[in-house]
Chain A
Amino acid sequence: MRPAASPRLPGYVVLGVAAGLAALLLGRPEPAVLAAPFLLAVAGALAAARRPELAVSYRLDRDRALEGEEVELSVLVTNLGPRPVARLEVELVLPRGLSEVFGPRREASGLGAGATRTIVRRVRCRRWGGRLLGGVRLRASDHLGLLKWTREDSRALPVRVFPQPEALHRLVRPAETQAHAGNQVSRLQGEGIEFADIRAFVPGDRVRRINWRASARRGAIQVNAMHPERNADVVLFLDTFSGVQGRTGGTLDMAVRAAAALAEKHLGQRDRVGLIGFGGTLRWLQPGMGDRQLYRLVDALLDTEIVLSYAWKGLEVIPPRTLPPQSLVIALSPLLDDRVTAALLDLCGRGRDLVVVELDPAPFIDPGPRETDRLAFRLWAMEREAMRARFRALGATHLRWRHGQPLDPVLAAAAPLRRGARLAAR
């Protein structure tokens, strides 16, 4: 531990020395008498000074939590030295995104030789992400507080705070399905449950598919054609080039929460889900199914952050297997960076089934007090409206999601738009 003196210590020493000199110069004992308690305090503190030997360990009740949940952190401080510590202050150092629920941030009391003190704190996980929990500041002092020893212990325990997913009841239906069985009703005809059409019987059709009423009406055997249930490939495209942050959240928070919810819901429907983090650092996860893929996706989302980069990046940097053909691409972006806009327009141009969920940055931006500021803001808004029109014209489904609004109705609005979008594309 690092020793440090209280400002009192030099003050008392100077006072004592000055009084001693005064006693000599004046030839009187009173100045020396006045100095006596101060010099005794200094001498006593220095004579009893021993560097404390403290060991710190941590315990955490769990290492994974959802946003808004609480974890319990126990800090165990043991005095390994032969002497008691007169006063020991323990202050918890929490990283951003975590906060203490209640109780004083600093706790002070004595610690006997060989004794262990346990400080239990409840910590609220305010924001998603991987965090390191467990740093403490220790301040030990003697009985009079004249000498202090400080130490910062930064050994920490990792906590993974998962984003609180958005409540979703319906999803965007993909235009194309894959070969595996799933919950998406395919547009093709085959073995399935959903009724598609009535057609004439051909050799090989199952007898139970015969529609007897239609056959009686038409005078020839008719069978029911069905839509098979298939799965789909869904690629979540996260824009990590830029973002806007407000007091209560930002576009990146919105993107991560939406991606977590979409991944969970699509994987629950037996779809294959992949992830592309398109930004200063390109990160991807090939589409996959099942619970393991969900954990992979959420773990990848926790490490998502905005990385500043000036390098121009296009679709060519994305590995082809990450974007399978006939996959549904759901882009979550504030559409603030030209590189992302260009990449998404490129995807549209290549005939990909694209849904752009625009994480509206407008609520986070103050138009400014002056008339020129407001004019600039209106021009910027008009440019964005033109960009949205380009997406729609190219056949992409453009959805606008504002901060504080639930995602479910936004996705629900996609169904009529996608019918229109496909017609426009054709």
Chain B
Amino acid sequence: MSSPHWLPIAWAGIAAFTVLAYIVLDGFDLGLGMLFLVEKDPRHRDIMVNTVAPVWDGNETWLVLGGACLYGVFPLAYSTLLPALYPPIIAMLLALIFRGVAFEFRFKAHSSRARSFWDLAFMCGSTVAAATQGVILGALIQGIKVQDDHYAGGWFDWLTPFSLFCGLAVTIGYALLGACWLVWRTEGELQTRARGVARPLAAVTIVCIVVVSLWTPALQREYLRHWDVWPRMLYVAPVPVLVGALVLIFWRAIADDTRHLTPFLCVLGWFFLCFTGLGISIWPWIVPPSIDIWQASSPPASQSFLLVGAVVLIPTVLAYTAYAYWVFRGKVGHELHDH
């Protein structure tokens, strides 16, 4: 049963898009949750939550799509990665449970104690979910031990200094996304405070990007193969160069009170470029360093069946998701003035 060569490549592209969509969309939701740590004013907290309340569910759905795609399209990756990453995955799911219900529960809590509890759940759930996603990413990059199509490592293989550092990096990065989202979608005191926290967060994020970029090739020599070979170097060189350019633009925009959207777009750009860089490094593996996308693929009958739907449905989903964002456009906290 030989698979056409292009089908797994197409699916790797869609899967990567799904993961990226999740990271950038739920990233700012989670980041905003973490910023509860520095924002105690209950009115500001309500505004923060309401900037994402109508859309967070759709954002999280990309994570479900990611799981379902892996399950249906790369089942071998699904069935080796999930046992290998069992503890952080379960921790992430439990954290997302607290975060998700807190959206509704905190508004409907019947006492101020209950409300504080769900605010805490929202903040901690967001933080743990972000940190575990980083740890999962780090554990994937450092490599998963596979033998005879089964996970062959131990219970705590995922726990290393590198994976913990990735956890920290993603947490800080999401918090930065959340802060920039607030700069865009809020105004007044809250916006000023978001601008204030964005600056140190951005500085730490940049340091993290540099450290992870240098640390990654040290884990698997092969990751360097697309970066240090002429002339392939030419194709990948724009990635670090663009990151540098966006850093400069970000720094001017964050200090400029008239720029509301630019910082957010810059940080989205960083995430996009880091993700692209990561993709270049691990290509064509899906479970480094043993399983590539062709080995992990389900039969062509499965991949083509789902591809037909994905080609039509994913653009449709993007269209009405854009509509939902458009319906709730504008600064939150100002709608009444429109009437």
Do A and B actually bind? no
